[in-house]
Structure 1
Amino acid sequence: MSQPLFTLLNTRPMDQAEALTQQVQWHHGQVISCPSIDIQWVVSQDTIFDLSESIDKIIFISANAVRGFLKSVYYPSYLDASKRTQKPIELYAIGRATQQSGFAHQLPLSVLSQTDFDSESLLAHPVMQSIHQQSIVIVKGEGGRTLLETTLKARGANVQLLEVYRRVPAPFCMQSWLKFEQSHRPILLLTSMESFTFLLKHLVELDSNYAELSHSKWRFLTETIVFSERIKNQMQAQGWQGSIRVVIEQSNVGILDTLLATNS
């Protein structure tokens, strides 16, 4: 059996990891599964609002936001409102992976950028400028950035948050990590800051030297691939010394393209 081009530690949640694993293997990469995050769906809300009332826009932050919305009590209200309203509710996604998740469930999500897929790009689009007194729902996970909410409110919109999932630490896959340390051209994938934080906590329990991000324990890594400049900057601010690449696009295709560019 020929040697793989590289070895990816796939830290995505278990139910979201398989498609990426298959694509990487197709391109002669090895994949070691080691989820650092589990997704828990939020069933109830502290603040209940009626989605069947006049809503102008709904913004989905992630593919998990789409899945959580479909599981929530608000999805039937959205369907009811869609049938009764004279003006269709505008549906938006931050990125293409979120858009595709919506398409798969008959949610016609629009993206407002063809290059950068983040809150800043969404907010820069003309559609998000003249929104005074519009009612906007942001579907997201618990916690996370507040830029979208605060900016839309500053522009005069009535913004409501619908938090439909939370990220929690997954059990540590110690054997997978030990195998990863000995692998050919090891590349670490981090899709969120929580992914890194949860993984780091487990690693420090395994070996306290991991707490120092400039320590030689980390030097076995060929590359670390992250989902945003924000994650890269936060890791470097904490002392990370290794090479970091930001994905070309926040999707499996973007991850794969970045991997292949790294190993070309």
Structure 2
Amino acid sequence: MQSNEKTVLVTRPAHQSDHLCGLLTAAGFTPIRYPTIAIQAVENTAHISNTLYQHSNYDYLIFISANAVIQADRLIDHQWQKTPSGMIAIGPKTADTLDQLGLKPAITAAKPFNSERLLTQLPSDLKQKKGLIIKGKGGRTLLAEQLQKRGMTVDTLDVYQRTLPNNYKTSRIKKPAYITITSQLALDNLFLIPPRPIGELKQQCTFVVFSERLARYASSLDCQHLLISHGASDKGLVSAISQDKKR
């Protein structure tokens, strides 16, 4: 089957795909919703609830994603008391989610909205400071390691986990022109789900990824056609596709 140059496979979790799909539609593309990750809340243990309820003891609260904000808010039953002046968001989507809860971030990581960029926005000396990184299970450890090297006492708290969608065994897709990839796990799971030969996707589709790091990883999996987003955002993904010279 010939791929349609206007079709874009959107692998974001189902509850987070509306914005990207809307932007794609407005730009003249046909989005195909195909979540490769499902977000599941973790069990609210005594350790998790105690840590969250004692959030005012930290100098910095660092939210890695919008999902981290949503799940932490649920686990704390929306009972945010005195929040630290050093509330931090990795990227604008996370910052917007905090704003919706009345939790104004003091620092939002600038483009390309990742840990490396955030580290350039923080002091080099963080001795006597205490930080809590709120995130999902797994993922990179670079931020915590680098903050510890600067003298910060760092705790991490996993408030959600990423899994395969429940219907992945019965899912079917038609070959798209583009596939948006916003995390390494999204790409790994994509190759677990489709019934069509994986090699066909790798050779014939263009993978639109959030960063150079993700591009290198996709290349290591033999993905042949790669586009790097103009910033780790939905607008950046759409901009990269719209300006693709191969179209």
**RMSD (CA atoms):** 2.4
Which of residues 148, 159, 171 in structure 1 aligns to 2:154? 159
- Contact 1:232/1:244, CA 8 A, preserved across alignment: yes
Question: What is the correspondence of 1:26-105 to structure 2 with a 5 Å cutoff?
Answer: 26-45=26-45, 47=47, 48-49=50-51, 51-73=54-76, 76=79, 79-82=80-83, 88-105=84-101
CA distance in 1, matches of 2:154, 2:232: 25
Q: Name the SS for the 2:191 alignment partner.
A: helix
Which residue number in structure 1 is paired with residue 187 of structure 2? 196
CA distance in 2, matches of 1:148, 1:74: 27
Query: Is 1:220 paired with 2:220?
Result: no
CA drift of 1:111 comes to 3.8
Which residue number in structure 2 is paired with residue 169 of structure 1? 164
- Give the residue type in structure 1 aligned to 2:227: R
Report the count of equivalent residues.
240
- Contact 1:62/1:94, CA 8 A, preserved across alignment: yes
CA distance in 2, matches of 1:89, 1:103: 14
CA distance in 1, matches of 2:72, 2:159: 6
Deviations 1:218-249 (A, max 9, x none): 3331x1111222221122223x1411112112
Deviations 1:181-219 (A, max 9, x none): 1x5xx101111111111121123xx25x52xxxx45533
CA distance in 1, matches of 2:139, 2:220: 18
CA distance in 1, matches of 2:134, 2:145: 15
- Give the residue type in structure 2 aligned to 1:249: G
Q: Could you tell me which runs of 5 or more consecutive residues in structure 2 were left unpaired when the two chains were aligned.
A: none
Which residue number in structure 2 is paired with residue 262 of structure 1? 244
CA drift of 1:106 comes to 1.3
Q: Could you tell me which runs of 5 or more consecutive residues in structure 1 were left unpaired when the two chains were aligned.
A: 83-87
Instruction: State which structure, 1 or 2, has the greater radius of gyration over its C-alpha atoms.
Output: 1
- Give the residue type in structure 1 aligned to 2:82: A
Which residue number in structure 2 is paired with residue 231 of structure 1? 214
- Contact 1:38/1:168, CA 8 A, preserved across alignment: yes
- Contact 2:60/2:85, CA 8 A, preserved across alignment: yes
Please give the TM-score of this superposition, normalised by the length of structure 1. 0.82
Q: Quick check: which one's helix share is greater?
A: 1
- Contact 2:36/2:193, CA 8 A, preserved across alignment: no
Which of residues 228, 231, 236 in structure 2 aligns to 1:246? 228
Deviations 1:5-62 (A, max 9, x none): 6111011111111221122112111111111110001232474435255210111111
- Contact 1:5/1:28, CA 8 A, preserved across alignment: no
CA distance in 1, matches of 2:61, 2:55: 12
- Contact 1:59/1:91, CA 8 A, preserved across alignment: yes
